[in-house]
Chains A and B, each alone.
Chain A
Amino acid sequence: MSGAKGLDLTLKIWRQKNAQSKGKLETYQLNSVSPDSSFLEMLDILNNELIEKGESPVEFDHDCREGICGACSLYINGEPHGPGKRITTCQLHMRSFNDGDTIYIEPWRARAFPIIKDLVVDRSAFDRIQHAGGYISVNTSGNTQDANAIPIEKEYADEAFDAATCIGCGACVAACKNASASLFVSAKISQYALLPQGQVEAKNRVLNMVKQAEKEGFGPCSNTGACEVECPKGISIENIARMNREFLKASIAE
C-alpha cells in the first residue's frame, strides 16, 4: 500500500472583487490533497488549478509561513486559524481534516478590518493603535542606555515578554462576538506597563490606545474569553484586566 490517497474536499470560499462589491461564498472541489500539505499549500494548489483554468486566484494573506509574522488570517470552519489551538493558519495542516469534508474559508469580519479582496482584509487599524502609544521615547543620539542596565524582577520581565509575543494577527478580533480588539490592545499596553521603561508614558499610552481602538470601530469587551482561546500566542485576558485597571487609574488622574 502506498500512503494515503489524499483528501477530496469541498471548499466554500468567500470571493469579493473589492471593498465596494458585495461578495459571496463560492464552492470549489479540490481532490487528492495530501494530508501532509499545509493549509496554505492547499490554497496554493487550488490557485494553480484556477489559474490554469483562466480564473482569478483566491487572494489570501501570508508571509513568513512559520507562525511569526501574523500575516496569515482566515476564518476556517467557524474559527480563526481553523481547528487546533495556539497555531496560525500557516501552521495548520491538512491532516486536521477528513476525506470528504466541507471547509468554509472566510475573511476576518470586523467593521475596523474592511475587506480589500477575497480573504484579504486591511489591518492597518492595528498600526494606528500602535502609533497612538505603543512605544517608549528613548534618546537614540548615540549614548543610549542599555535596557538591561535596569534590574527588573523576573516575574515582571516574563509577563511583559509574554505580552510582547503578540504578532498582531487579529485572530482575537475575528473570534470576538463584538469584534473587540481588547486582547491586542491590552497586550501592547501590558508589555510596557509591566516594565520601568514604560512608566513615563503609561497614562497617556492607555488612554490614547484605547481611544484609537474605539475610533477605529472595534467593539467593547464582553469578557467571553474567546480571544484568549483562539490567540495563536496564548496571550492571556489577564492583560485585559490590567488594561481596565490602568485605564481607570489614568482616567481618574487625568
Chain B
Amino acid sequence: MSKSKGLIKSHIVKKYWMAFTGLFLCLFLLGHLAGNLQLFIPGYKGQLQFNEYAVFMTTNPAVKLLSYVTYISILFHAIDGIVISVNNKKARPQGYAFSRPGANSIWSSRNMGILGTIIFVYIVVHMQNFWYLYKFGEVPYQKAEDNLSPLLNDGTVVKGGEIINGEVVSNGEVIGIAMKDLYTVVLDGFQNPVLVAFYVIGMVAIAFHLVHGFQSGFQSLGLRNKKYSPMINKAGFAFAILVPALFAIIPIYMFIRL
C-alpha cells in the first residue's frame, strides 16, 4: 500500500551510508597503517622496501581501483556528514539557556562534525604533502647501495645509468622509469616540528572521531545484539586508540631519529 520512498529521503538511510563509508574507511586505515609501519625498518633495506611499496601502491590496478573507492568514500562520507549535521541543527531552532550535555553523552558523540572537519583538512594537507608531491612534484630518486646507480621501478639496478626527466638512461638509451625516493621525502618532511604537530593533531582527531564512530556505525546499521555488541564496543575503543597512536608515532619517530 504505502509508497513511502523510504530509501531515498530518510535520515536513517543517510546514516546507513555514513556508517557504511565510515566503517569502510576504518578498514582503509588498517591497510594504510600496515604500509606505513614499514617506515620502521631500519637502514637501506627499509628505504628500498618502502619505495618499492610506493611503486606498487601507485601502479597496481587493483590498488588503483581500491584507492578510487576510498576517495569516493571520503567525499561521500564528508558530504553526507555535512548534510546530516545541518539536519541535526534544524530540529532545534532554539536551544536551552542552560544545558549539561556531559551528563548523558560523551563529547565525541556530540562533536563528530567538528572532528570530521579537522580530519578532512588533515587529509587534504596530507595528500598535498606526499601523494601530490610523489606524483607530480620534484622528488629525489632511490639509489642503489653504492649510492650512485639508479633503480628502475621494478627494482633493477642500472649500473652506470643516469636519470633524465624521471627516466633511467643508459648509453643514451631510455630503459625505464626511475624509482622515486618517497622514504627520504617523508624523512625530510618530518624534520619540521610544525608538520609533526599537525600530523599528531590529525591523529588525535581521528581517535576521538572513532571512539564514538566505530560502535556508532554498527548501531546505525542495526547490527546489535546482546552477545556481540559488548565485544564490538571494546574492540572499537581499542581500535580508536591504537590505530591513530601507531600512525602518530611515525612522524614523532622520524623527527627524533637523527
Contact = CB atoms under 8 A, between A and B. Distances in A.
Given A78-B99, A219-B11, A244 B91 contact: no
Contacts of A75: 96, 99
B99 A221 contact: no
A211 B10 contact: yes
B186 interface: no
B91 A180 contact: yes
Given A106-B96, A177-B88, A237 B4 contact: no
B94 A244 contact: no
A79 B14 contact: no
Contact of A251 (B6, B91, B99): B6
A220 B87 contact: yes
Contacts of A241: 219, 222-224
Given A77-B98, A208-B2, A219-B90, A225 B14 contact: no
B4 A208 contact: yes
Contacts of B87: 178, 219-220
Contacts of B45: none
Interface string B93-124: 11111111101111001101000000000000
B186 to A, nearest CB: 36
A207 B101 CA distance: 30
Contact of B97 (A25, A214, A240): A25
Sorting the interface of chain A by its residue count into under 10, 10 to 19, 20 to 34 or 35 or more gives 35 or more
Given A14-B97, A109-B94, A219-B88, A225 B104 contact: yes
B198 to A, nearest CB: 28
Interface in A61-85: 75, 77-79
B12 A244 contact: yes
Contacts of B16: 244, 248
B201 interface: no
Contact of B109 (A179, A214, A224): A224
Nearest to B9: A214
Interface residues of B, number: 46
B92 A219 contact: yes
A111 B101 CA distance: 19
Interface string A207-243: 1101100100111111111100110000001101111
Contacts of A242: 222, 224
A222 B98 CA distance: 21
Nearest to B215: A223
Contacts of B221: 244-245, 248
A80 B89 CA distance: 19
B112 A222 contact: yes
A82 to B, nearest CB: 10
Nearest to A83: B103
A178 B92 contact: yes
Contacts of A175: 104
A221 B13 CA distance: 11
Contacts of B220: 221, 223, 244
B4 A254 contact: yes
A184 interface: no
Nearest to A220: B11
Nearest to A103: B98
A213 B126 CA distance: 41
A23 B131 CA distance: 55
B88, B92, B97: residue with the most chain A Cβ atoms closer than 10 Å? B92
Interface in A97-114: 104, 106, 109-112
B6 A222 contact: no
Interface in A177-221: 177-180, 204, 207-208, 210-211, 214, 217-221
Interface of B: 1-2, 4, 6-7, 9-16, 84, 87-101, 103-106, 109-110, 112, 212, 215-216, 219-224, 226
Interface of A: 12, 14, 25, 75, 77-79, 104, 106, 109-112, 175, 177-180, 204, 207-208, 210-211, 214, 217-226, 229-230, 237-238, 240-248, 250-252, 254
Given A78-B96, A78-B100, 12 more contacts: A14-B97, A25-B97, A109-B94, A111-B90, A204-B2, A211-B10, A221-B220, A222-B88, A241-B222, A246-B222, A248-B12, A250-B6
